[in-house]
Amino acid sequence: MLAKYRELRAAFDAVAQVGQDPFGVIFDRVVSATEALLGGRRILLLGTNNYLGLTFEESCVAEAVAAIQAEGTGTTGSRIANGSYGGHAMLEARLAKFLKRRRAMVFSTGYQANLGTLAALAGPKDHLLLDADSHASIYDGARLAGAQVTRFRHNDPEDLRRRLRRLASQPGEKLVVTEGIYSMLGDTAPLRDIVEVKREAGAWLMVDEAHSLGVLGEAGRGLAEAEGVEADVDYVVGTFSKSLGAVGGFCASDVEDFDLLRLASRPYMFTASLPPGVVASVSQAIEVMESQPLRRSRLHRNVRHFQGGLVAAGFDLGPSASPIASIRCPDQPTAIRFWNGLLQAGVYVNLAIGSATPEGRPLLRTSICAEHTPEQIELAIAAIRAVGTELGMTGNATLGAAAE
């Protein structure tokens, strides 16, 4: 049955032969938002998506422990079958208030939030217009929906406009899907222009704020807040596994009868609901995110420090400054050697190769945390510069945008 994966096995073996298996790293212990132990060595974490550093926030941990002691470790079933805990309803109300939306519904993962929302919103007679660089969960949600899928060029509102005009005479709803911050290169969507196109076509708009929640906007609501277009976004989807430091996902909206999605979304209906400890920690994380805006300020200070150092060294980065900085590598063997060299130097980053990356170009993906100290950032820059120099990747690259 698994013979069909022989080519995949050969590709995996080729990667693993270069050094440490990048897909099988098992930390001895994660000791803080920025460090872990691996093989008895202290490793700097530079690829966690833990943007606000809330995984070890004392108040979040305390709320999670109290909830587990009071209500147990899990719910053992879906909300449709087993009922909702009071915490589920309170979290949805708290999330809706934070996002300034009428309603919100919570999923067990961010992946399921996209999967379940798209599968419920669109059907075979509808059209989904997806950015070409959309996350796998968006594409899988489109498949589950059975809708007609049209891809538009990444971050290209004019291409979206042309495609919507071609579909204007066809029946069915048109739903445009874009992301706040794209997870591979860290670039943001031109959301104001996309909103203009959406209005012109009379389409609906869904924005996945997974990597921009807590990062962008004065209150941390994401790109739509930062761009002043929240009223034009019909559905906001996101995750608790980035800035909020836990696991889970959500969809929020002002659309009438939004709660009917609970009866139409199979990933929501047939998946065990979030356990009490996670619900409690996420609820507290929202409070922390709102009450401690300096975390976001520290995050952006760290982003400027880190990306400025990489640009000064001559690395080819993504197109914009965000907590995600990806170093473009000339080929896969170089990327694998680079990743192994950094791990040996005590710095853990993400190795992104194959179809997961834009244009299939290998990347070393990093993500900065508000809890990284200036000394840790300097250590990371020095390690990346040293390994990159050994591989001949510094000084002569075509530079991406410098951190602003």
Provide DSSP, 4-26: GGHHHHHHHHHHHTTSS-TT---
Query: How many alpha carbons fall within 13 Å on the CB side of residue 45?
Result: 23
DSSP three-state, residue 149: strand
With contact defined as beta carbons under 8 Å apart, do 53 and 370 qualify?
Answer: yes
With contact defined as beta carbons under 8 Å apart, do 250 and 208 qualify?
Answer: no
The label of the residue with tokens 């906007």 reads 217
Strand partners, 36: 30, 43
3-state helix, strand, coil in the chain (%, to 5): 45, 15, 40
Residue of 211, 243, 273, 320 marked catalytic: 211
Residue of 137, 183, 265, 273 marked catalytic: 183
Rounded Cα distance, 168 and 166, in Å: 6
Q: Is 211 a catalytic residue?
A: yes
- Rounded to the nearest 10 degrees, the angle between the axes of helix 276-291 and helix 293-313 is 80
Tokens matching residue 386: 């040293």
Q: Is 183 a catalytic residue?
A: yes
- Edge to edge, what strands does the sheet with 174-179 contain? 103-107, 249-253, 235-239, 204-208, 174-179, 127-131, 148-152
With contact defined as beta carbons under 8 Å apart, do 78 and 105 qualify?
Answer: no
Residue of 88, 127, 242, 372 marked catalytic: 242
Q: Is 320 a catalytic residue?
A: no
Report CA-CA distances (Å) from 174 to 125, 167, 205, 245: 10, 8, 9, 33
With contact defined as beta carbons under 8 Å apart, do 162 and 210 qualify?
Answer: no
CB atoms within 10 A of CB 272: 14
* Nearest Cα residue to 244 out of 278, 291, 206: 278
Active site residues: 183, 211, 242
